Structure 1
């Protein structure tokens, strides 16, 4: 895989997001029991999160009714078991159960993610020993390290936090909208109008963010490779008095990373405030209309406060979903680069039944051999020579003429 190809992958990734996602989750086939448990826990957590505001409407109406009764009768306010005491106990149990299931699924998903990353690292470790020499000649060590460090860390981080939050957000949004329509279709239509504007902004920013994130990964990989290369060759750099050029090149790479980080971070961090502003504006408009309907007796106080809970439950998941979409895209880009590495060409295996060479004379002959590291650029063309047994031949040429390449071909490092 050439550096040009690697840069192209990082810039355009994920080119096949769905295919990459299916393959990534296919790696979790040995953890089905844990995944089923996580899914079951997510369903319970989401269901409790959706039901509690609806139940709280009855609690608030019962509380207001009990307070009015105490004021009317001139008695001291107490919480009766029926129905207020029972309702408060039930809603407390709901919130406690929701918290317990959330911590449980987070703990279990962290274990699933780390085991997946361990599996991928083992596959990468096994793959490295099967790669041909041409891969290491065409790739910087920093680019290879980026596959097994930053890319896998991004996948792990997204699986542990982003994926759960994204799934929970989608379920919460669907359930919340259903109950919002139940309480007031008019207010819900207004809210959907503001939501549509938020989605438009999110889609616009997500496309640009994907492009900038890919460029940032490319710059970081290049800087890592350049640093490793200069450190390993520091003696050669000093011997040829090339310190100034090396420092200039390294500073340029650092500045490129800083500029890429600045653009990506600004775009990522600007999404949330924009959507939050639209969310607060929609709440102010809906509050005025809701209070008007409550004054007319069309909605109770409990229904209005429950509706605002659902609005908050929709607004926050929408904000999180907008952020998580960007994180998922970045994770899929990392996964795709990892799979590109695992799918790379391997060394041609020796035949299982080699033909024994009984009387080798030691003569080596090249007949019209042509070779290039890339199909676009041929390094040597129609090379022919014969080295007879016991004969010594000197290969002379300028730097880059192909002397080392000729020996690599002789040793069959390249097919």
Structure 2
């Protein structure tokens, strides 16, 4: 892997930056005199909820699907239009039934006008008004032919509306899923463009939560709200039009509920939106703690911090519970509040409509249709209000995803990158300055040259800048001044992929991927043949223990490599670097986790690795605390506080009786030394 070893990298950073990175991972800060291993977890800066801009930005992500969105809109309009016509036709069916029932009670042979006059003369004004308002044939019963035609028309109407609604839902599902698919790709690409500084300052579980939970929540919210809100809005418009057609007076009465509903929805959502933001923030923090606790499960148990982890989990779980409860409770008030307003509207419409039927100004079917419309009118408003909590939750998650997408990226590669004419492995530092924090210098005016084929060992106390030095070669961080050249080419003018393709790295922290041992070795060169993989395994002494496994090279190891020993994992990572055949090799405490006998084998493997390049011997940078492993280095650099204080061979540095000699004697002359 071309990534720095976490422990070494953190040792070489300024205290403040190290503790920030360690806190972000929930790791122990004991090397810097920090707090307990699980005592503090860094959080990204919290931003206030900005609902409307985030909603607009989320909506703009649908612009590539504008053709599909227009098709969805057309289908939705047709489906809603057919649905809102239905109550009017059912009102006509009611009028047919009512006219038949009333007509059967009247004597045949007279006209409806005569029947109405007779009822009025008898003092029954209400019946007279009903007869006058309806298309009644005295003496005739229910016209079942007309009734069946109306009912068949209603069935066909609702069936067509369902078909259009299904097509709309199908298209909308595709639009949402393609949009989320693209969003996931952008997040994945963004993570690869983020500088190492950002990754070190963030909690892993928090980033994972944004890339998984939050995106899933955005997908769910869009899927539920887009269709529901669009249908509800068009239904309200269509119903209002039909209500005006049936009765303008009753329509004005019913429209009084709109400002009341809008005021209630706004008042409630203003209070619930911050709670949804807090809910997903606490979700990310809880996920981060869980990820850390399970990753460092053994460490937690060894140091007896199980109770502390459980306490922190309980605290963050309580925070999440409180924020989720408040968000759901407050937003949940919308539904019953809207239902209450709708029920009041229903009562008022029913009373006024009944009086108008009694007065003969409206037919019974029209009142029935209007009551249905009034329910259809309040129902989409209630549905839209009930979607408010889902929408708020989705926008809160979208904000968190957008924060990740807006994070500062590493500087882009040059438009026309430089390339090396030959890969010899000559590395030159020319007056290099670097600092993690603006006011805390780390490396100042550093110059050195590593000639092709040389083995350059870097030693020094913790925090001296050893790993920082090789991180600069890999361009994990950018220089503040000076330059670094590789085979005469300034690495700042090269494409990062091209630069790193010629560099192999073996880390102190071994990392194996889920898969077979063969796959993990082949990761260094995916195009390698099976014979080349086997040769790399033999050269690095992997073959000697793989042969003893039941499945050999097809043994599946988990992502943490828990089913192989620490030394065996290190050998596999060395084989991976061997197979990559790099011109520049970086070994960062590569033998720190192996036993003495295996260390001898690893030393032989690394010696073969350093001298088996296809064009020339490899240039190697070896970071070591165990000085016995670098006695044969061509050049040993002793670093203190970002400066090279001594350089030379092992014998030369011992003879100088300086910093290197003190370090050497501390390891071999005494159990402890006061440096």
- Shared fold per TM-score greater than 0.5: yes
Residue 384, structure 1, aligned to residue 444, structure 2: yes
Residue 396, structure 1, aligned to residue 456, structure 2: no
Residue aligned with 1:384, SS: strand
CA RMSD of aligned residues (A): 3.0
Tell me the residue number matched to 1:375: none
Report how far residue 366 of structure 1 moved. Answer: 6.2
Report how far residue 60 of structure 1 moved. Answer: 1.6
Q: Would the aligned equivalents of 1:20 and 1:336 in 2 still touch at CA under 8 Å?
A: no
Residue 250, structure 1, aligned to residue 297, structure 2: no
User: Are residues 84 and 213 of structure 1, via their aligned partners in 2, closer, same or farther at CA, if it must alter by over 3 Å?
Assistant: same
Tell me the residue number matched to 1:189: 252
Distance 1:386 1:122 in 2: 40
Tell me the residue number matched to 1:41: 75
Q: Would the aligned equivalents of 2:433 and 2:446 in 1 still touch at CA under 8 Å?
A: no
Determine which of 157, 163, 168 is the counterpart of 1:94: 157
Distance 2:223 2:425 in 1: 60
Distance 2:462 2:192 in 1: 32
Residue 232, structure 1, aligned to residue 292, structure 2: no
**Alignment deviations for residues 328-363 of structure 1 (CA, whole Å, 9 cap, x no partner):** 333233334333333433333444115779998766
User: Are residues 136 and 186 of structure 1, via their aligned partners in 2, closer, same or farther at CA, if it must alter by over 3 Å?
Assistant: same
Tell me the residue number matched to 1:59: 93
Q: Which moved more, 1:280-289 or 1:308-317?
A: 280-289
Distance 1:144 1:381 in 2: 29
Report how far residue 265 of structure 1 moved. Answer: 1.3
Residue aligned with 2:435, SS: strand
Unaligned stretches of 5+ residues in structure 1: 373-377
Report how far residue 101 of structure 1 moved. Answer: 1.9
Report how far residue 79 of structure 1 moved. Answer: 4.1
Residue aligned with 2:410, SS: coil
Residue aligned with 2:194, SS: coil
Residue aligned with 2:160, SS: helix
Residue aligned with 1:344, SS: coil
Q: Is the helix fraction higher in 1 or 2?
A: 1
Residue aligned with 1:279, SS: helix
Distance 1:114 1:331 in 2: 15
**Alignment deviations for residues 172-222 of structure 1 (CA, whole Å, 9 cap, x no partner):** 112212222333333333322233222211100111111110110000011
Report how far residue 309 of structure 1 moved. Answer: 0.7
Residue aligned with 1:214, SS: helix
User: Are residues 364 and 118 of structure 1, via their aligned partners in 2, closer, same or farther at CA, if it must alter by over 3 Å?
Assistant: same
Q: Which moved more, 1:296-305 or 1:62-71?
A: 62-71
User: Are residues 360 and 282 of structure 1, via their aligned partners in 2, closer, same or farther at CA, if it must alter by over 3 Å?
Assistant: closer
Tell me the residue number matched to 2:119: none
Residue aligned with 1:348, SS: coil
Q: Would the aligned equivalents of 1:366 and 1:384 in 2 still touch at CA under 8 Å?
A: yes
Distance 2:424 2:99 in 1: 106
Tell me the residue number matched to 1:353: 418
Task: State the aligned residue count.
Answer: 401
Q: Bigger radius of gyration, 1 or 2?
A: 2
User: Are residues 128 and 27 of structure 1, via their aligned partners in 2, closer, same or farther at CA, if it must alter by over 3 Å?
Assistant: farther
Q: Would the aligned equivalents of 2:54 and 2:395 in 1 still touch at CA under 8 Å?
A: yes
Tell me the residue number matched to 2:102: 68
Residue 136, structure 1, aligned to residue 199, structure 2: yes
Q: Would the aligned equivalents of 1:172 and 1:314 in 2 still touch at CA under 8 Å?
A: yes
Distance 2:349 2:314 in 1: 53
Distance 2:315 2:96 in 1: 68
Distance 2:278 2:190 in 1: 26
Alignment of 1:58-207 (within 5 A): 58-72=92-106, 77=141, 79-81=143-145, 83-207=146-270
Determine which of 416, 421, 435 is the counterpart of 1:370: 435
Tell me the residue number matched to 1:12: 49
**Alignment deviations for residues 131-170 of structure 1 (CA, whole Å, 9 cap, x no partner):** 2212211222222222232222222223323211111111
User: Are residues 405 and 23 of structure 1, via their aligned partners in 2, closer, same or farther at CA, if it must alter by over 3 Å?
Assistant: farther
Unaligned stretches of 5+ residues in structure 2: 1-20, 25-41, 109-138, 450-455, 479-675
Distance 2:419 2:237 in 1: 64
Tell me the residue number matched to 1:21: 58
Q: Would the aligned equivalents of 1:387 and 1:393 in 2 still touch at CA under 8 Å?
A: no
Distance 2:457 2:204 in 1: 38
Q: Is the strand fraction higher in 1 or 2?
A: 2
